[in-house]
């Protein structure tokens, strides 16, 4: 690649990085601004008077249950992630390794779930959960999202790239199918599992519409709803809104930085441990 093309390439990458990072910079800037600077022109990314501590204190005074909302989001995210890990890995292993009548048809039907808009099944799910008496419970928040067709597809593609000879060697040593999955397949699929974990955790942490429908109590509301409650009818404290968003974003940024290498490998469907 010539020097001109190389400079153009890195210039486009830098521009893309700036576009992606700019909203986070604005969020941090607004979270540390006093109310008088929120609508001040010209726009300043660096506040004249830093008010990070004051805004944080006011946030907890305005939203007394903010920490509870964070804990609820952690419970929701962990529950859905573990549920999808168990159910999706079992289903993916079955589709990748076992031959049974109708396997391709059932797999196609599962993938067909990805084409159904979530809004189309929201009301039926709400009616079902109401009949079960699960509204305002963590069961309503976790169980409907405990399986993901996308996670099953991602893991199946990873499992299919692992040589079947490894399964046969483990079976010769006396391992049953579940032991093969646990001791052979899953350890060799760490990149795909990390990618699955990042995607699932972020989706569960950011879920807003479904918890808004099935939960209206402080005991089960996640952080997404807790932040939306900061909005007023006539006035919205954007500095508090951004401070709450910043606190809710930090765990996801930390998780991605921790697993970014595995996430990239999983998306590329490497599958095999090298």
Band of pLDDT at residue 223, cut at 50, 70 and 90: very high
pLDDT for 262 equals: 66
Percentage of the chain surpassing pLDDT 90?
50
Which residue ranges make up each domain of the chain? 1-62, 65-267
Yes or no: say if 252 and 205 are a contact pair by the CB < 8 Å rule. Answer: yes
pLDDT for 263 equals: 64
Identify the CATH number of the domain defined by range 65-267. 1.10.3720.10
Say how far apart CA 169 and CA 175 lie, in whole Å.
9
pLDDT tens digits along 147-188: 888 889 989 988 988 999 999 899 988 899 999 999 999 998
Yes or no: say if 240 and 64 are a contact pair by the CB < 8 Å rule. Answer: no
Say how far apart CA 253 and CA 64 lie, in whole Å.
25
């Amino acid at each position: 690649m010539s020097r001109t093309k190389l400079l153009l390439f890195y210039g486009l990458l830098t521009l893309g990085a700036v576009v992606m990072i700019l909203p986070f910079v604005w969020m941090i800037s607004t979270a540390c601004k006093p109310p008088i600077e929120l609508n001040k022109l010209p726009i300043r990314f660096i506040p004249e008077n830093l008010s990070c501590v004051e805004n944080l204190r006011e946030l907890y005074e305005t939203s007394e249950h903010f920490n509870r909302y964070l804990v609820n989001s952690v419970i929701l995210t962990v529950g859905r992630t573990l549920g999808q890990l168990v159910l999706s890995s079992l289903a993916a292993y079955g589709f990748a390794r076992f031959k049974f009548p109708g396997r391709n048809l059932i797999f196609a039907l599962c993938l067909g779930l990805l084409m159904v808009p979530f809004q189309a099944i929201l009301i039926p799910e709400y009616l079902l959960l109401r009949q079960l008496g699960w509204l305002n419970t963590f069961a309503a928040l976790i169980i409907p999202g405990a399986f993901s067709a996308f996670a099953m597809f991602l893991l199946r593609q990873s499992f299919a790239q692992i040589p079947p000879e490894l399964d046969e060697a483990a079976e010769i040593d006396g391992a049953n199918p579940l032991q093969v999955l646990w001791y052979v397949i899953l350890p060799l699929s760490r990149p795909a599992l990390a990618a699955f974990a990042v995607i699932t955790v972020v989706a569960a942490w950011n879920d807003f519409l479904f918890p808004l429908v099935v939960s209206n109590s402080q005991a089960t509301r996640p952080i997404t709803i807790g932040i939306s409650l900061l909005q007023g009818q006539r006035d919205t404290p954007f500095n508090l809104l951004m401070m709450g968003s910043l606190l809710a974003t930090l765990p996801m940024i930390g998780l991605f930085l921790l697993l970014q290498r595995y996430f990239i490998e999983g998306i590329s469907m490497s599958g095999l441990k090298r």
